[in-house]
Amino acid sequence: MIDRQRVRIGRKFAQVSEGAKEIFLRDGFSGTSVDDIAAAARVSKATLYSYFADKRLMFEEAMQNERQRLEDAILFDIPADAAPTQAIPALTRQIAEWLVAPDSVRLYRVHVAEAARFPDVARNYHAALHKVLRDRLRERLDHWVARGELRIEDTTLAAEQLVRLAGAEIHDMATLDGGHAPDHDQIARIADSAAQLFLKAHGVSGRNEQSLGAAR
């Protein structure tokens, strides 16, 4: 948690925070200099230090702002009354596309790189990911289970598994393969396979088979 007694809010605070975020996401904590942040924020180093006592506080503030932006995001755009056989393939594509988006990849990389140095920051980011992906997906699964359209004993675990399936291979490609993001066809192949596997495991026989056939 950020020590607010060591952070001063002022007229250029948002400008400084945005500049810090831009450089930290590009270069990480160790690779970032205060000079770089000052240049990105278009302020002097004296102005930076008037808001933050040190670079660690700048990093913590920048990551907290990004975490809040993540929690406020709407990742799933699916009609509330959609059947799982139509909704889950769309959900897995949306999850996969978000996981490999440049902003998502940069945020993930910097938290992994700095987890040992900033364990609380990494822990809070992990919790935010659960909130925006797993927990919101679990709400959808609970709805379909209540309607008798899916059979799932543990919807929290199932939601986590669906996220992992949707990001299989392509997430590693985006984060580890020299910045070469998977293309649309690769994303679609993985996401559609994830949806089919999930529906085979948790779908209600008969009803879902007919719906899947119609969807094709």
pLDDT in tens, 119-129: 999 999 999 99
DSSP structure class, residue 6 = G
Same domain, 80 and 179: yes
Same domain, 10 and 65: yes
Q: Is 80 exposed, middle or buried (0-12, 13-18, 19+ CB in 10 A)?
A: exposed
Whether the pLDDT of residue 213 is over 60: the answer is no
Kindly state the percentage of the chain with pLDDT values over 90: 73
Structural domains counted in the chain? 2
Mean pLDDT over 132-140 rounds to 95
Same domain, 88 and 43: no
In tens, the pLDDT along 11-49 reads: 688 888 899 999 999 999 999 999 999 999 999 999 888
Same domain, 139 and 204: yes
Whether the pLDDT of residue 198 is over 60: the answer is yes
Q: How far are the Cα atoms of 71, 123, 177, 213 from residue 117, in angstroms, in the given order?
A: 23, 12, 24, 51
CATH number at residue 12: 1.10.10.60
Domain range enclosing 205? 75-215
Whether the pLDDT of residue 216 is over 50: the answer is no
Same domain, 56 and 90: no
Residue finishing a domain among 54, 69, 84: 69
- Give the pLDDT of residue 75: 85
9 SS3 class = coil
- Give the pLDDT of residue 215: 47
CATH number at residue 104: 1.10.357.10
In tens, the pLDDT along 166-186 reads: 998 899 999 987 767 899 999
Same domain, 149 and 181: yes
Same domain, 63 and 153: no
Same domain, 20 and 39: yes
Whether the pLDDT of residue 210 is over 70: the answer is no
pTM of structure: 0.84
86 SS3 class = helix
Q: Please choose, from the candidates 168, 187, 200, the residue with its C-alpha nearest in 3D space to the C-alpha of residue 84.
A: 200
Question: Taking all residues of the chain, what is their mean pLDDT, rounded to a whole number?
Answer: 89
Same domain, 115 and 36: no
- Give the pLDDT of residue 212: 46
Residue ranges with strand state E in the chain? none
Residue finishing a domain among 48, 69, 90: 69
Q: Please choose, from the candidates 113, 133, 142, 13, the residue with its C-alpha nearest in 3D space to the C-alpha of residue 73.
A: 133
Q: Distance from CA of residue 211 to its chain's centroid?
A: 30
Residue finishing a domain among 42, 69, 96: 69
